Copies of this chain bind each other. A is one copy, B any other.
Amino acid sequence: MAQSGQPTMGQSLLFLTDEQVRIGIEAMFFAYRGFTADPDRILATKAYGRAHHRAVHFIHRSPGTTVNNLLAILGVTKQSLNRVLRSLIADGLVSSTVGKADKRERHLHLTDAGAALERELSDAQRDRMRSAYRAAGPEAVAGFREVLEAMMDEEMRHHYRAMKDRPE
């Protein structure tokens, strides 16, 4: 379909061919493996998995967030998240406090131990991302983020932008 070779406008559309798009798909597949490899290695030595990493990451980013909000960001069922949260709470990495205004809600925070785990996992992942950034350079990074953002579902893009503009 997009296989045409004649740029009729002032700009070539060759980067939209099936071939080029396919390369992007495979790049995504292989890169995501690298993206998760380092934290996964650390998690394997503890009794946790990737789901715990995600929960800890976003609780760190949004302290006091509710279970429902976390659900929307992670895009899993509440039962699935609950299992993860339960073990993190039992192990003293996350605290859950009943909401003051709305007692149905639980507000989630990292404990000191939870913050330590978050840092350990994030450091490993950040190191790889940073070295990829460095290898590719600032302009490539800008393009990287543009394409990723365009690849998201509308709802995820909303969460992404909200988090992006919040200070660390």
Contact = CB atoms under 8 A, between A and B. Distances in A.
Number of identical monomers bound together in the oligomeric complex: 2
Given A33-B153, A34-B153, A153-B37, A16 B134 contact: yes
A113 interface: no
A34 B151 contact: yes
A22 interface: yes
From DSSP, what is the main secondary structure of chain A's interface residues?
A: helix
A26 B163 contact: yes
A32 B61 CA distance: 19
A126 interface: yes
Contacts of A125: 25
10 contacts: A19-B167, A20-B133, A26-B160, A26-B164, A28-B32, A128-B151, A131-B150, A136-B146, A143-B143, A144-B148
